[in-house]
């Protein structure tokens, strides 16, 4: 039970939206936002989820409800896409029906941030079901693997095996692939379905449809470049 009385808890209107700690590499902004963008496409008809990027998460399981955690990305289910029709400045569990994130992402950077130690304890106490530590550059330094997904079991995180990893409670799989972003090739975190197939972006789906149409036309001896203009 929370030691804090609900009516004494602050409003997100009066709380900082982050801890003002700058990221120290561009992927900490890019990769979580790519996850958000894809989810906005996949779940466009759903209004019961929220994905935050670099946003303060306020909770009542720490030393003070005014001290947030600020993961690189998090997904909460069973909450409004827009809080009362407006954009959130931050995420306070007591304003979200005590809904905590179901999935949380931390990306390890040049300066280690206790992703494998203190944050693990904190997120377990917060009751976050899935916790992903993504460490593509410094995993050898930290004596870990580049991709480690943990699931909360009996109050402690257990490292899960397999990638992409299907999260049935979330309805998404998470994993890596080599993609092209802005003309540059790089490893990207993305969502997968239950079969282990990568979810395609809207742009990729349109490209696939165009390719299929072109193949169909050519199979009928029709040059798609010579179609009459409408």
- The pLDDT of 183-201, averaged and rounded, is 94
In a 13 Å sphere around the CA of 169, the CA atoms on its Cβ side amount to 12
pLDDT value of position 216: 79
pLDDT value of position 19: 61
Is the pLDDT at 62 greater than 90? The verdict is no
**Euclidean distance between CA atoms 52 and 18, whole angstroms:** 11
Of 117-126, 198-207, 212-221, minimum mean pLDDT range: 212-221
pLDDT value of position 1: 43
What is the arrangement of strands in the sheet containing 172-181, beginning at the earlier edge strand? 165-167, 172-181, 184-192
171-184 tens-digit pLDDT: 999 999 999 888 88
Global pTM value:
0.87
pLDDT value of position 21: 64
54 close to 25: Cβ distance less than 8 angstroms: no
Burial class (CB in 10 A: 0-12, 13-18, 19+), 102: buried
Is the pLDDT at 193 greater than 80? The verdict is yes
141-172 tens-digit pLDDT: 999 999 999 999 999 999 999 999 999 999 99
- The pLDDT of 53-74, averaged and rounded, is 93
pLDDT value of position 42: 96
pLDDT band at 3 (very low <50, low <70, confident <90, very high): low
**Euclidean distance between CA atoms 40 and 51, whole angstroms:** 9
- The helix/strand/coil state of 192 is strand
15 close to 58: Cβ distance less than 8 angstroms: yes
Q: Which residue has the tokens 């949380």?
A: 104
Is the pLDDT at 22 greater than 70? The verdict is no
**Percent of the chain clearing pLDDT 90 (strictly above):** 65
Enumerate domains of the chain plus CATH numbers.
Answer: 6-199 (3.90.1570)
65-122 tens-digit pLDDT: 899 999 999 999 999 999 888 999 999 999 999 999 999 999 998 877 789 999 999 9
């Amino acid at each position: 039970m929370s030691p804090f009385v609900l009516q004494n808890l602050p409003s997100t209107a009066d709380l900082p939206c982050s801890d003002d700690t700058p990221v120290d590499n561009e992927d900490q902004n890019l990769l979580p936002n790519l996850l958000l963008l894809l989810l906005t496409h996949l779940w466009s008809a759903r209004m019961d989820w929220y994905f935050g990027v670099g946003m303060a998460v306020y909770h009542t399981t720490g030393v003070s409800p005014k001290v947030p955690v600020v993961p690189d990305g998090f997904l909460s289910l069973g909450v409004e896409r827009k809080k009362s029709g407006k954009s959130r400045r931050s995420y306070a569990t007591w304003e979200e029906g005590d809904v905590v994130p179901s999935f949380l992402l931390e990306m390890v950077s040049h300066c280690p941030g206790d992703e494998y130690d203190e944050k693990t304890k904190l997120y377990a106490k917060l009751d976050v079901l899935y916790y992903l530590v993504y460490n593509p550059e410094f995993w050898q330094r930290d004596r870990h693997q580049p991709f480690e997904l943990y699931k909360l079991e009996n109050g402690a995180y257990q490292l899960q095996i397999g990638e992409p990893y299907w999260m049935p409670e979330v309805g998404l799989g998470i994993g890596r692939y080599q993609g092209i972003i802005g003309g540059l090739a790089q490893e990207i975190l993305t969502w997968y379905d239950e079969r282990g197939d990568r979810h395609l972006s809207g742009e990729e789906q349109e490209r696939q449809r165009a390719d299929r149409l072109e193949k169909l036309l050519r199979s009928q001896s029709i040059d798609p470049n010579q179609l009459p203009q409408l």
